[in-house]
Amino acid sequence: MIPIFSVLLTSSFPVSNRIDLALSPSVAVGFLACAPWLAASAFVLIAGVSGKTWMYTLVPLTLMGAIIQYRLNGLLAGPSAVLGLLQDQNTLYARLGNGQTLAVKTCPSSRISSRIVLLKLQPVASRFYSYPVVLLSGKRMTGNVSEDQFRRLRMWLRLGRAQQSFE
């Protein structure tokens, strides 16, 4: 009887309710994406000053990580940058900078809040690569997505996770 409940739950959602979320370049999103790398750079610099001089060799690596994340999420530059998200028939697709559209799934490490969504998207066909995506919507700080589509995607992600826990 539980599988019947699950089937009834998934069949009650409208199939034609598509979400097409286009991302736009944003300086604020770029800084949010590179913040962990900048924090790692600060840690490495502090450790170097406190006597561990070999830690200075890690500074270029952490700064390069910050630059890469800023380019991918803030400027939306590069072949693996996610330029848009499309939800159709209960499947999430990512449009990449190289022109590909891949079916993806959200990893459990993704985080959803009212103004920001941190997604780790993994292609359905692969387990070895993931795409980090930062979605920001707000009136005080200009984000990279429209508020209406952002709200619809956020609700779909929450409902999609609830469905997965029933199965």
**Upper half-sphere CA count for residue 13 (Cβ side, 13 Å):** 17
Predicted confidence (pLDDT) at residue 15 exceeds the cutoff of 50: no
Q: What is the pLDDT of residue 140?
A: 75
**Quick check: 10 and 163 in contact, CB under 8 A?**
yes
Reduce the DSSP state of residue 95 to 3 states and report it: strand
Among 94, 106, 84, 81, residue whose Cα is nearest residue 156: 106
The whole-angstrom separation of Cα 85 and Cα 110 is: 15
Q: What is the pLDDT of residue 138?
A: 76
Global pTM reads 0.80
Q: Is the dihedral of CA 138, 88, 108, 35 positive or negative?
A: negative
Q: What is the mean pLDDT of residues 99-103?
A: 95
| DSSP, res 73 | I
Domain boundaries, the chain: 17-166
**How far does Cα 1 stand from its chain's mean position?**
36
pLDDT in tens, 39-62: 999 999 999 999 999 999 999 999
